[in-house]
Amino acid sequence: MKFKLQHIVAAMAVATTLVSCNNDDDTTAVSGTGDAEIFFDNSVNGDDLLLNTSAYTNSNGESLKINRLNYIVSNFVLIAEDGTEVVYPKENSYFIINEGANSTTVHLEGMPAGNYTKVRFGLGVDQQRYLQGETAQQSFWDLAAASELTWTWSTGYKFINFEGTFTSPQTDGEKTFQVHQGSNTATDNYREITLTLPNTARVRTDETPSIHLIADANVILDGATKIRLFDALNTANTGAAIMGGQGLIDIANNTLSMFKVDHVHNGAGDHHEE
C-alpha cells in the first residue's frame, strides 16, 4: 500500500507541474515585435490553379482555361485572442497577388508579439486611399500597372484581373474572356474579408507564423451569384468582357466567400518564400 501511495503522490506532482507549465505558457506576457506572412494559394473549385494548362468547368457548364489571375489585397488587420485589433500601417498595406509572377505571399513586418486568432483584409483599394491622390500612392500605382491592375488614373485600379478562354454549351468553339473588376463612379466594389484561424498564429521576435489561405478563383463567377460568360459575349461573338455594371457588384459580393484558411504554421523557418 505504501508503494502504491508513493507512486500516486509522484504522479500527482508531475501532473501539477505540467498544468503549471501549461498555465505559464498561456498567461506569460510576450513583448517586442515580429513578422507574419500570409500565403495566397490560388485554386479553382478545389483544384490547383494552373495557368494556360488545365480547363475548369463551373456550374454553368462553361469550361475556362485561365491565363491570368492578378488581384490586390490590402488593409491587413491581425486580431488577437482577446479581441485586440492590430492594424498594419495603411501606407504599407497594399499588395499585389500575381499568380503568373509567383508573387503570392504578403509579409507583415514589425507586428506586436502576440497570439492572433483572426485576420482581416480588403480585396481592392478603398476609396479613402484612392482619394488621397496619385502622388500619395505613385509607387504602388506603378506596381499595380506592371501587373495589369490599373485603368487610367481617373478610372482607378482593377481589383481583379481574371482572363483566359472559355467554351460554353451555347457557343461554337473557344472564346476569350476578360473580367476586370474594380470600383467606378457608381459603386464602391471594395470588400473586406474576416477569417478565423484554425489555430493561433504566434508572432514572436524569433517566431514567424505563416497563414496559408486558399483563394478559389471559381467563386469570382460561380459564387452566390452565377455569372455566365456567354451572356457577356460581344456582338462579334469572339469574346466576353465584364468590366462594369451589375456584374462588378455581383463579383464583389461573390468574393466575400473566395478565401478560406487552410492552416497556420508557427515556427522560425520552413515558410513560403518569393
Tens-digit pLDDT string for the chain (274 aa):
444 444 444 444 444 444 433 333 444 568 899 999 999 999 999 999 999 999 999 999 999 999 999 999 999 999 999 999 999 999 999 999 999 999 999 999 999 999 999 999 999 999 999 999 888 899 999 999 999 999 998 889 999 999 999 999 998 999 999 999 999 888 999 999 999 999 999 999 999 999 999 999 999 999 999 999 999 999 999 999 999 999 999 999 999 999 999 999 998 654 554 4
Residue 12: per-residue pLDDT: 45
Instruction: Return d(Cα 100, Cα 68) in angstroms, integer.
Output: 7
* The Cα angle at residue 200 between residues 199 and 201, in degrees rounded to 5: 120
Q: What is the CA radius of gyration of the chain?
A: 23
pTM attached to this predicted model: 0.87
Roughly how many angstroms between the first and final C-alpha of the chain, as a whole number?
A: 64
Answer whether 199's CB lies under 8 Å from 264's CB.
yes
For position 184, what pLDDT does the model report? 87
238 is written with which cell numbers? 469572339
pLDDT of residue 28: 54
Could you give the CA distance from residue 48 to residue 46 in angstroms, rounded to a whole number? Answer: 7
Task: Give the separation between CA 19 and CA 57, rounded to whole angstroms.
Answer: 52
Helices (H), the chain: 2-27, 127-130, 138-146, 219-222, 246-254
Q: What is the C-alpha separation between 171 and 234, in angstroms, rounded?
A: 12
